[in-house]
Amino acid sequence: MDESTNRWMLWGVGLLVLLVLAFVAYRLVEPNRRAEAKAQHVANLIATGDELFVQNCAACHGQNATGGIGPALNSKQFLGSVSDEQIRSLVSVGIPGTQMSAYLQDFNGPFTLEQINALSSYLRSLEKGAPDRPNWREPLAAPSATGGGTTTTVGAAGPDGKAIYTAKCAACHGANLEGGVGKALDANSPAAGDPDEELLGTIENGVAGTAMPAWSGSPMRRSGRSWTTSDPSRTAESARVCLPLRGMWARRGTSRSDGDVFDPTRFLPICVGGSKDLRRCWPHKPVLRDRFRPAKGRNP
């Protein structure tokens, strides 16, 4: 009986020693495994964020976030001044009054919360090698059709369509419509056959789920044969961009689906009460009247 008891006690002590050794081994190995798993998760987030940035953000902020028509986010000054939570907030809700729209689905954007986290992780990963760029907020000069930098020329009537395109569109769509970060807008582009309203609407409202931002401070809405907007000067500017596009498409043999020639004056602001001064329109509701094909029996 005593011999049997001693045998069981020895087995118990042996098992206890094995359990202690296993626990010690677990404590030594598990932190490394958890660190590796966390590092892999962060790497996956960064890779996903990189793809999302290229598809949705590079059109404005440039490849590798080095800047374009939007601020350069790959800079010591920016990344050193914001927290991860602030980055997520900026991407989620956007910046009112700018081209930076909300990207979180809760605010009618295209991204899930996990995608917002991935984009934030990607931007944070740039901080270690971020260049010194004190003027990160300033947009880069867009390339001109001749290959050099350019500035928008403003005359008495404001910048013309070609100058606006060069300053604000060429960085993505190319100085000669050849494409780049954004789609090509050459004669083979589907946009070449779009009606004027659809072409202008794309510029004004952007394309949801893509890198094409809305270029109007507020969406332009159509009711019957009239358009309303709270930012008439911006809509008139967008209308001017359509003119050189139509001209280039016409020279390259692309005809409109309806055979019409684009007339930007049909989209120029006409304010309630007949005022032609945009500043006097502001307290009222500006109307963009269709003066191209007026309804029967109605003066344009």
Q: Is residue 140 part of a domain?
A: no
Q: At which residue do the structure tokens 């009239």 appear?
A: 226
Q: Is residue 265 part of a domain?
A: yes
Distance between CA 68 and CA 99 in Å, rounded? 13
Last residue of a domain, one of 104, 125, 146: 125
Q: How many CB atoms lie within 10 A of CB 204?
A: 23
Bridge partner residues of 173 (DSSP): none
Tokens standing for 57?
């953000």
Q: Is residue 296 part of a domain?
A: no
Q: Is residue 135 part of a domain?
A: no
Q: Is residue 295 part of a domain?
A: no
Residue 26 DSSP class: H
Distance between CA 231 and CA 238 in Å, rounded? 11
Residue 201 carries which side chain, given as an amino acid letter? G
Cα 77 to chain centroid distance, Å, stands at: 21
Distance between CA 75 and CA 5 in Å, rounded? 73
Same domain, 169 and 108: no
Same domain, 105 and 185: no
Short-list 124, 299, 132, 267, CA closest to 199: 267
Distance between CA 114 and CA 118 in Å, rounded? 6
Same domain, 216 and 114: no
CA distances from 90 to 85, 101, 283 (A): 9, 9, 30
Q: At which residue do the structure tokens 């569109």 appear?
A: 169
Distance between CA 227 and CA 257 in Å, rounded? 22
Same domain, 271 and 169: yes
Contact 271, 280 (CB under 8 A): yes
Same domain, 10 and 92: yes
Residue range of the domain that includes 216: 154-289
Beta strands in 171-269 (DSSP E): 221-223, 226-228
Same domain, 161 and 96: no
Same domain, 162 and 285: yes
Residue 169 DSSP class: T
Structurally, the chain folds into a number of domains equal to 2
Same domain, 169 and 263: yes
Contact 162, 169 (CB under 8 A): no
Q: Is residue 63 part of a domain?
A: yes
What is the residue-level pLDDT of the chain in tens, covering all 300 positions? 577 777 788 888 888 888 888 888 877 777 777 778 888 888 999 999 999 998 888 878 888 898 887 889 999 999 999 999 999 999 998 887 677 888 888 888 889 999 999 999 999 999 999 999 999 888 775 444 334 433 333 333 345 667 777 766 776 777 778 876 677 887 777 777 777 667 777 777 777 666 677 766 544 454 444 444 445 455 555 666 666 666 666 555 544 444 444 444 444 443 333 444 433 333 333 333 333 333 344 333
Same domain, 109 and 172: no
Q: Is residue 161 part of a domain?
A: yes
Distance between CA 101 and CA 94 in Å, rounded? 5
Same domain, 221 and 119: no
Last residue of a domain, one of 75, 105, 125: 125
Same domain, 213 and 264: yes
Same domain, 158 and 273: yes
Q: CATH number for the domain including 169?
A: 1.10.760.10
